[in-house]
Amino acid sequence: MLKALVVFGTRPEAIKMCPLVLELAHTEGIESRVCVTGQHRSMLDQVLDIFKVKADYDLEVMRPNQSVNTITTSVLEKMEAPLAEFKPDVVLVHGDTTTSMASALAAFYQQIPVGHVEAGLRTYNRYSPFPEEMNRKLITALATYQFAPTEGNRLALERESITEHVYVTGNTVIDSFQYTIQNDYRFKEPALAGHDFSTRTILMTAHRRENLGLPLENICNAVVALAAQHPDVSFIYPVHLNPAVRETVFSILGGKERITLCDPIDVEDMHNAIGRSYLVLTDSGGMQEEAPHLGKPVLVMRTETERPEAVEAGTARVIGVEKDGIISAVQELLTNQALYQKMSTATNPYGDGHASERIVAILKGLIKKDSV
């Protein structure tokens, strides 16, 4: 019997790990448990409810005004109990969060193999995204099993001399659409329920640490200008709960015509909103993977991306964080139908929706071999 402990703590992690949790739960020969850290509390719980996943362990690390230091030390300390009680054969962590890095380190200290889901993403700038770029490099060093979403991610690991137990699986976020997308979906968020998606709608998110301050001001001012220049276009912006984000966003965009601001929305609302929007404007990593699956062009408001596959495939463009550059890139997609058609019909490079199945099958075979 393979014993697998799945650990996550943020909303994006939960969206990508819940399909894997569900696959583990109904796979014969596997006993799996879920440990959540609560790094994001309310947003995490929303995802668990939608996927009907129940946590076996809840570390409840979230504190007011928490820092990266406090999250790291709290997760590292509190992971001791579930590891000691369950004694897993493998601990599965995701991506690049502080939860994942600290959990991987806690497992390593107990000499428990770590499986890194979404391994091999790199920007090669240790401070962008911060602290995610360094987190994922540390997890790579700690992990025994590397589950790379794409061939490009595998090659990135190979360049770092990581070649053993590296497997290309696709991205588990694509698996999640089978649980979230509905043709007759009714939005729960009132701002979305009352929105006319028959008009061209730009769905946007912006919240990354490196974009706080002037870059986020540039983003918001670009949106004000675009709304004024294109009266047939509207914007929907679910605003992150970070006070530093909300202060900037509401001061610049609050009360502006055809710019709808709302609180963060759950994954069902988000996926269905992406599907009904005209294009996506974001600094998020996950939306660079999600929107192409739904045929929506993605404009990435960052200076680099750890997801170059989307750019190479033609589904995404990195447009920076300068006001004029953002305006120019959005206007081009709004006015150049040939470019829009090319981006919206490009092949999604992130898989076929069976990544979780591949990871489970690989784990069963590997753990069995390693225990012989």
Catalytic residue among 132, 189, 269, 289: 132
- Tell me which of 13, 23, 58, 96 is the catalytic residue: 96
Is 240 noted as a catalytic residue in this protein? yes
Active-site residue, from 23, 58, 89, 118: 118
The active-site residue out of 165, 209, 230, 258 is 209
Nearest Cα to 68, choosing from 17, 172, 138? 138
Q: What is the edge-to-edge ordering of all strands in the sheet holding 114-117?
A: 57-58, 30-36, 2-8, 90-94, 114-117, 145-148, 166-168
Question: Which amino acid belongs to residue 145?
Answer: Y
Is residue 132 flagged as an active site residue? yes
- Locate 145 and state its tokens: 């099993």
- In the residue annotation, 276 being an active-site residue is answered as no
Cα distances (angstroms) measured from residue 82 to each of 36, 61, 98, 237: 11, 14, 18, 38
φ/ψ (deg, to 5) at 101: -65, -45
Catalytic annotation, pick one of 33, 122, 136, 240: 240
Q: Of the listed 116, 154, 195, 207, which one is catalytic?
A: 207
Q: Which of 278, 27, 295 is nearest to 177 (CA)?
A: 295
Catalytically active residues are 96, 118, 132, 207, 209, 240
